[in-house]
Amino acid sequence: MKYYLIAGEASGDLHASNLMRGLQACDPACEIRFWGGDAMAAVGGTQVRSYRDTAMMGYTDVLRKARKVLGGLAFCKKDILDWHPDAVVLVDYPGFNLKVAHFAHQQGFKVFWYIAPKVWAHFAGRVKKLRRDVDVLYSIFPFELEWFRERGIEPRYFGNPLLDRIAQVPLQPMDGPRIALLPGSRKMELKFLMPRLVELERLLSADTRFASYRLTLAGAPSLDKADYQQYLPPDSKIEVVFGRTYDILAASEAAVISSGTASLEAALLGTPQVVCYGSDPFSWFIARLTVRVPHVSLANLTLDRRIFPELLQEFATPAAIFRELERILLDGQTAARMRTDYEELRKVLGSEGASGRIAQDMYHETTRV
């Protein structure tokens, strides 16, 4: 079978790479052509484009990159027609992939959507497009299932593939004590959070209670060291480390994280955390009008309560981040409560092996006459 995969950002690249391994396991002769990143490229197949070419965050970024994205969309449609896959597999990234889904459906291709887009949070009208253009929608969070069913879509849930990824990576010890910093995988996320982390470092270094803690920043694969260093003053002791995100999280007693997949990874690894999120004023204004969820973090949404703090936009001040870290590191109860909630989270998400189960289901659907 021939599978055409499209992942538009780092988290999609990660999940799609495990899905590709699952497809190869149940269909050894399969051919895979993809848009993605290094994780997918390491599995094999033919890479068409890198997700770095089209990654976006916020409405301002969408407007700025509109022409480039439209050009990529036209190329993608032609590439799909020329290669003529048995199935088109779209991995999250709804702004781009919804257009691809409509095109592929019109052309008679089987369309799978892996990692249901967060239409329950904003742009709920997109559910009509999913219902019209997608043959099978795969969810990776159980709280999404009822929402989609109420709107005429029967999603399939086989567990959360992030459990597979964490189980696959052998952890290497790091000395401590440490505080992990994960400011995001997009440059606009860094623009918001990095200046706050620099000021946080100043606050921590001025307090003797935290003198022994090392601040370790886990670099995202979509960025390079210069992207972070431009924000760090010459006297900063923040250490930027690439390729060891799980090691850093597992070795840290607390973490400051931009909302996203990294926050869920920290929860599954047992790292107490404070989530910070914000964007440029225009994007934030639009988000306030359109987003309708009680939490921004996937772990908090899954358990439907705040298991760790979320500091958003103007509330994500260095002083506020410092106070949350103070609670995590010093009061003896905050971190313990988080870890107890993390255990509940793991049980709710299910067992390992989701990637393989989803791949098998896709293979059976593709071969169905």
In this structure, of 127-136, 240-249, 278-287, the range with the lowest mean pLDDT score is: 278-287
SS (H, E, C) 61-127: HHHHCHHHHHHHHHHHHHHHHHHCCCEEEEECCHHHHHHHHHHHHHCCCEEEEECCCCCCCCCHHHH
pLDDT number for residue 292 = 67
Q: pTM of the predicted model, to two decimals?
A: 0.85
Q: Residues 126, 290: contact at Cβ < 8 Å?
A: no
Burial category of 350 from C-beta neighbours within 10 Å (exposed 0-12, middle 13-18, buried 19 and up): middle
In this structure, of 31-35, 69-73, 84-88, the range with the lowest mean pLDDT score is: 69-73
Tokens of 187: 């440059």
* Distance of alpha carbon 223 from alpha carbon 237, whole angstroms: 20
Residue 177: cis peptide before it, omega within 30 degrees of 0: yes
CA dist list (Å): 108 to 7, 45, 98: 21, 23, 15
pLDDT number for residue 285 = 67
Residue 62 has pLDDT above 70, yes or no: no
Q: Give the start-to-end residue ranges of the domains of the chain.
A: 2-161+353-367, 172-349
In this structure, of 257-266, 269-278, 352-361, the range with the lowest mean pLDDT score is: 257-266
SS (H, E, C) the chain: CEEEEEECCHHHHHHHHHHHHHHHHHCCCCEEEEEECHHHHHHCCEEEEEHHHCCCCHHHHHHHCHHHHHHHHHHHHHHHHHHCCCEEEEECCHHHHHHHHHHHHHCCCEEEEECCCCCCCCCHHHHHHHHHHCCEEEECCCCHHHHHHCCCCCCEECCCCHHHHHHHCCCCCCCCCEEEEECCCCHHHHHHHHHHHHHHHHHHHCCHHHCCCEEEEEECCCCCHHHHHCCCCCCCCCEEEECCHHHHHHHEEEEEEECCHHHHHHHHHCCCEEEEECCCHHHHHHHHHHCCCCCCCHHHHHHCCCCCCEEEHHHCCHHHHHHHHHHHHHCCCHHHHHHHHHHHHHHHHCCCCHHHHHHHHHHHHHHCC
Instruction: Please indicate whether the domains covering 2-161+353-367 and 172-349 agree at the CATH topology level.
Output: yes
Q: Band of the pLDDT at 67, cuts 50, 70, 90?
A: low
Rounded percentage of the chain residues whose pLDDT exceeds 90 = 78
pLDDT number for residue 57 = 47
> CB neighbours (10 Å) of residue 125?
8
Q: Which fold has domain 2-161+353-367?
A: Rossmann fold (3.40.50)
Q: Residue 351 half-sphere exposure, CB side, CA atoms within 13 Å?
A: 3
Amino acid code (one letter) for 341: D
Amino acid code (one letter) for 261: T
pLDDT number for residue 296 = 86
Q: Which CATH number fits domain 172-349: 3.90.170.10, 3.40.50.300, 3.90.650.10, 3.40.50.2000?
A: 3.40.50.2000
182: phi then psi, degrees, rounded to nearest 5: -130, 90
β-partners of residue 213 are none
pLDDT number for residue 61 = 47
pLDDT number for residue 287 = 64
Q: Residues 327, 134: contact at Cβ < 8 Å?
A: no
Residue 363 has pLDDT above 70, yes or no: yes
212: phi then psi, degrees, rounded to nearest 5: -85, -10
pLDDT number for residue 355 = 94
Q: Which is more confidently placed, 53 or 208? A: 208
Q: What is the rounded average pLDDT for all residues in the chain?
A: 91
pLDDT number for residue 284 = 64
